[in-house]
Amino acid sequence: PELASTPRILIAQRQEQPAPRPAMSYRPASGDCQQPKQESKPAAMPFPAGALCQQDPPVPSPTQVPTMSEVTPIDQTFGRMSIGPPPGRQVGGQDTQPCVAFGISSSVPRPRIARHNLVPSAPPQHGQSTSLRRPPPSALATRATSYSTTQQQTTSNIIALSPASHMGSHSERQQAASETGLTAESQQHSASPSVPVTAVDLAARCDSRYMRCTVGQLPPTAAMAAQTRLPAGIVCQPMALDVDQEPPLDVVNFGSTGIVRCKKCRAYVNPYVSWVNNGRQWRCNICGFVNDVPNSYFCQLQPETGRRRDVDQRPELREGSVELVAPGEYMVRPPQPPVYVFCLDVSTQAVASGLLSVVTRTVLDSLGSLPGAPRTQIAVITFDHAVHFYNLKATLGTPEMICVSDVEDLFVPLPDDLLVNLAESVEVVKKVLEALPGMHSATSTMSGTSRGDTRTRAMSGAFAPPDVMGRQDLLRKSAPSHPTSAAQAHREGTMGLALGPALTAAYRVMGHIGGKLCVFASSLPSVGEAALKPRAHPRAYGTDQERLLLRASQTNGEPNWYETRAVEFSRLQICVELFLTSPLYTDAATLGVLPKITAGQLYYYPSFRATSDGEKLSAELSRILTRPTGFEAVMRVRCTRGLRVSTFRGNYYIRGHDLLALPNCSPESVFALELSHDDQPLTTDVASIQASLLYTTSSGERRIRVHTMAVPIAKSAQDILYSADIDTLCNILAKSAIDVALKEGFEATRAKLQQKCVEVFAACRSSTGSVTVPAYVRGGAHRLAQQSGSAISYPQSGGSGSAGSSQIGFKLPDALELLPLYTMSLIKCAAFCGGSGIGVDERSFALQRLDTMALSQTRYFIYPRLLPLHTVLADMHDATNLTLPTPLSLTADAISSDGIYLLDNTLKFYILVGAKTCKDLLESLFVMDQSSHSRELRLQPLDRAYTDDQASFTAGQQQRNALESILTMLRKGRPPYIGIDVVSEGDPVKGPIFFRHLVEDAANFSGGQFSYQEFMAHIQRHS
């Protein structure tokens, strides 16, 4: 909403005694702000009852507690309020959520009481190393493939820190104090009181599935980082382990004490802060500033260890990940309710392909599982070459549809009845969703009227008898909205898709609250504002000009309509989930900025058909609607002094220089961070990186999720190379290559990836000295090892994978042994390979999906796994004790015509059926797809009648259910849903796609000219 004036927010002045923060007052008319009245409060106890303290701590003087009576005006750029320090005071960023509404309502739900020890601490995972020695070669594959294991540590879990090493020299502290403008009075907080050596427990850092670093030890200086040639980066997935609406972390409520955080850098208290002055002060592990401990938070220290006596009762001091209840000062409006708005394409293409039926059926099935009940709100908008609104008011016996055909000057009718409370209007919503497929399949709607005509009707025909039509005076005959076939629509040439006006309609319906917007489009937008023109030029595919097609279209060098609208969506806390299903060019590069800037996701189903793609779309849409979601979120990452985050990657909109605006955050939200060194070297033995996510839960609580990781500082370049994490390293390298591809082209991207591998090779050679031990470089098959703790496991004995062998003149560190193979695979993957076999929309989707992939997804996107299914399914007797076959190297020599092979590349499962496959096995697993013109194979439908009666299974049924168990196991924990494509040997269309993934063989496209042996020889020659 537009503001008539610039309101200002008053922050109450703190007193000597801790007191609850009073409610803020807001007067939009005058823009003035007054000091809210402080209610008289009884003196707070120096510490809570039961605290392990023997004496009362001294009350800090007024000079030690800064006052915060200043105000900050609204940020005019985004129309937001920001609560924080005045322009003249530099105390660091504060994670205050920018919102649309103003002020704090007294109806905000009170935070719940702290819950401790909800989830016991996880024991060390399989594959974790805590010793100083190098890991044996046999442990490499397990560490490289097990996503649940923690990152390899090449140092002891306990590191002793002295005050000098933690804070730097006295001269450095004086220089830092002068640079930050600290007065002599405030410099007493930065002094180093005499304290004993403190032990740092690295086991307390956050789970590696939340934050994972490319190296186990960080370089202390930029010079050493350049010597290793390895990028220092972190893959952050702040909600990775959320499986339901309740967080899997301890929830801490500081109450009247207020959240304990550093006054200088605003970092949150965590297990790696140090305690000084007998616990009356604590030193921040991020910036080194010494903070006073609030009276109610004080506890004495243990003389032997220097730790607080109550550390076991304080999750924020014991665990690297914790959830904090945010007090009122972290809100400038009541927490938003979960809002879901559906923009459905009802054009002929969408109806004929079955898209509309699949979407409406999935939303119907998910209504009862939408989070946030009974606060959840919902709206439905449909569009073809016009926009249709639906009156979902609970008092209506029959819902009404309002059609606005003037898409050039769109207005929203009945703005108060379009977005409704789901609990109150659930029956009306169900009627609309059930009616939509039949209504838009053949019947006449109001979309075919002349421009400027707005029509309202009750949903008649199959939806209501004619005598209950509403507003009959506005109705008159009109031409059918949809032609009888897609070919007829193409011949008419006048029909189009009004996606831009539909987005404008959704913007006006939900803009005052925010929420999630699910958009479905089956063709290129060509009607109304934001109409797009085809830009695809097949002659540009595989050339440097292709990069221009992969960028969002621009008008005279200015951002296009979709980018501008996406920024506005982010400002209003609207997240866009975009589904594209066109059989033709859709300009995914331009439309993809909507989910990228609004922290959503792009889903692409080329030539969508309900029979083959409906299950995948339904599973992914259901996951979007029911997964744990954090609304109106912001995230900031803080690093130890001497380090900084130089680059963010993922789907977000950045405000300032380090605040990520995330209208929605989910377990699939992944961010890649690249770290760089400041001018001054690191002076600590352990570097800390803290990610804080401020968000609103679906139940309406404001929370701060804090993840803190500690990484030891290396003594030499060799320590860094031996501590590398190959999965995280390849994830960072792949995402950084996306920027190069869009700026310089794919040829330059492939050259830089290859050069990076050469540089790391040379760094290993120089750091390890004159080592001449011949080493056997494994093929890709050896990266798959036994997966413990699962019903389906790999056998411990595997094949040799001789196709991937090579000889080199020295031995790479075990951690980097697979880097040449992965580099070659990345060069040949769909995102970066040359040639004209990949369409521009498919390429754009691959790049956008790669930019948001977690470690478990990039692992098989870069180097797919190939499983010979026939070796397991041919002699199937007991599906309950299933063992996966040994993975094969990605070479054509590993494939025979009498087998069935499954290839997993994260985006899709390809099942190759050999021409000489056993007939009985073929009939048990597959059936001919009669709906396709080419009579393709598809999986045999499961016989649900035999699901519970294992004894009644026939051999064919056992084989089919065993295959389903394998697919379920491979999909587990790897959203989004992975679809299946069955490829017959000799298929002229799907066959080349399958064999393109056999990266260890030479290929005839640009960048694929090397086999694995040739690539290894090339790397050795140039290093």
Contact 271, 708 (CB under 8 A): yes
Residue 277 burial class via C-beta count within 10 angstroms: exposed 0-12, middle 13-18, buried 19 and up:
middle
Residue 17 banded pLDDT, cuts 50, 70, 90? very low
- How confident is the model over 131-149, as a mean pLDDT? 36
| Residue type at position 751 | A
Is 301 a residue whose pLDDT tops 70? Answer: yes
- How confident is the model over 533-550, as a mean pLDDT? 86
CA–CA distance from 690 to each of 254, 298, 630, 639, 695 (Å)?
Answer: 19, 23, 19, 6, 16
- How confident is the model over 606-613, as a mean pLDDT? 92
Lookup: tokens for 23: 């409610």
Q: Of 186-195, 456-465, 718-727, 836-845, which range is least confident?
A: 186-195
Reported as a single tens digit per residue, the pLDDT across 461-472 is 334 333 323 332
Rounded CA separation 600/577 (Å): 5
Share of the chain above pLDDT 70, in %: 69
| Residue type at position 152 | Q
Lookup: tokens for 877: 């007797």
Look-up of token digits 């769909």: 830
Is 686 a residue whose pLDDT tops 90? Answer: yes
Nearest to 530 by CA among 503, 561, 495: 561
Bridge partners, 609 (sequence order): none
Rounded CA separation 645/211 (Å): 14
Neighbours of 55 (CB within 10 A): 10
The length of the chain in residues reads 1023
Rounded CA separation 525/496 (Å): 7
Is 183 a residue whose pLDDT tops 50? Answer: no
Rounded CA separation 878/962 (Å): 9
pLDDT of residue 192: 39
- How confident is the model over 566-574, as a mean pLDDT? 97
Phi, psi of 721 (to 5 degrees): -65, -40
pLDDT of residue 810: 65
Rounded CA separation 138/156 (Å): 21
Neighbours of 221 (CB within 10 A): 14
Q: Of 248-257, 638-647, 869-878, which range is least confident?
A: 869-878
Select the more confidently predicted residue: 261 or 111. Answer: 261
Look-up of token digits 């004159």: 770
| Residue type at position 960 | R
- Put residue 769 in one of left, alpha, beta given phi > 0 → left and psi -120 to 50 → alpha: left
CB neighbours of 272 closer than 8 A, spacing ≥ 6?
200, 204, 205, 285, 686, 688, 708, 710
pLDDT of residue 46: 36
Select the more confidently predicted residue: 896 or 450. Answer: 896
Report H helices in 580-668: 588-591, 593-597, 610-626
pLDDT of residue 283: 96
Contact 285, 200 (CB under 8 A): no
pLDDT of residue 953: 61
Is 615 a residue whose pLDDT tops 50? Answer: yes
Between CA 29 and CA 38, with CA 32 as vertex, the angle to 5 degrees is 120
Is 752 a residue whose pLDDT tops 80? Answer: yes
Rounded CA separation 470/462 (Å): 15
- How confident is the model over 910-925, as a mean pLDDT? 92
- How confident is the model over 407-418, as a mean pLDDT? 87
Q: What is the 3-state secondary structure (H, E, C) of 296-352?
A: HHCCCECCCCCCECCHHHCHHHHCCEEEEECCHHHCCCCCCCCEEEEEEECCHHHHH
Between CA 1015 and CA 1018, with CA 1017 as vertex, the angle to 5 degrees is 60
Bridge partners, 818 (sequence order): none
Reported as a single tens digit per residue, the pLDDT across 321-335 is 999 999 988 988 899
Q: Of 750-759, 805-814, 982-991, which range is least confident?
A: 805-814
Contact 859, 147 (CB under 8 A): yes
Reported as a single tens digit per residue, the pLDDT across 392-401 is 999 888 889 9
Residue 791 banded pLDDT, cuts 50, 70, 90? very low
Rounded CA separation 332/316 (Å): 26
Select the more confidently predicted residue: 484 or 442. Answer: 442
CA–CA distance from 317 to each of 269, 282, 684, 706, 707 (Å)?
Answer: 7, 12, 20, 12, 12
Phi, psi of 614 (to 5 degrees): -65, -40
Phi, psi of 644 (to 5 degrees): -150, 155
pLDDT of residue 457: 55
Lookup: tokens for 374: 């009974």
Contact 386, 405 (CB under 8 A): yes
User: What is the Cα gyration radius of the chain?
Assistant: 30
pLDDT of residue 715: 93
Rounded CA separation 555/701 (Å): 42
pLDDT of residue 211: 97
Rounded CA separation 587/548 (Å): 12
- How confident is the model over 254-275, as a mean pLDDT? 95
Phi, psi of 154 (to 5 degrees): -105, 20
Which H or E run contains 538?
Answer: none
Rounded CA separation 267/271 (Å): 12
- How confident is the model over 435-457, as a mean pLDDT? 60
Lookup: tokens for 103: 């002020």
pLDDT of residue 809: 53
Q: Of 406-415, 590-599, 774-783, 802-811, which range is least confident?
A: 774-783
pLDDT of residue 384: 94
Bridge partners, 230 (sequence order): none
pLDDT of residue 182: 38
Reported as a single tens digit per residue, the pLDDT across 878-899 is 666 788 889 999 999 999 999 9
CB neighbours of 989 closer than 8 A, spacing ≥ 6?
934
CA–CA distance from 320 to each of 128, 269, 669, 966 (Å)?
Answer: 17, 10, 20, 35
Q: Of 8-22, 519-533, 948-962, which range is least confident?
A: 8-22
Mean of the per-residue pLDDT values of the chain: 76
Q: Prior bond to 109 cis, omega within 30?
A: no
Lookup: tokens for 391: 């009156």
Contact 337, 487 (CB under 8 A): no
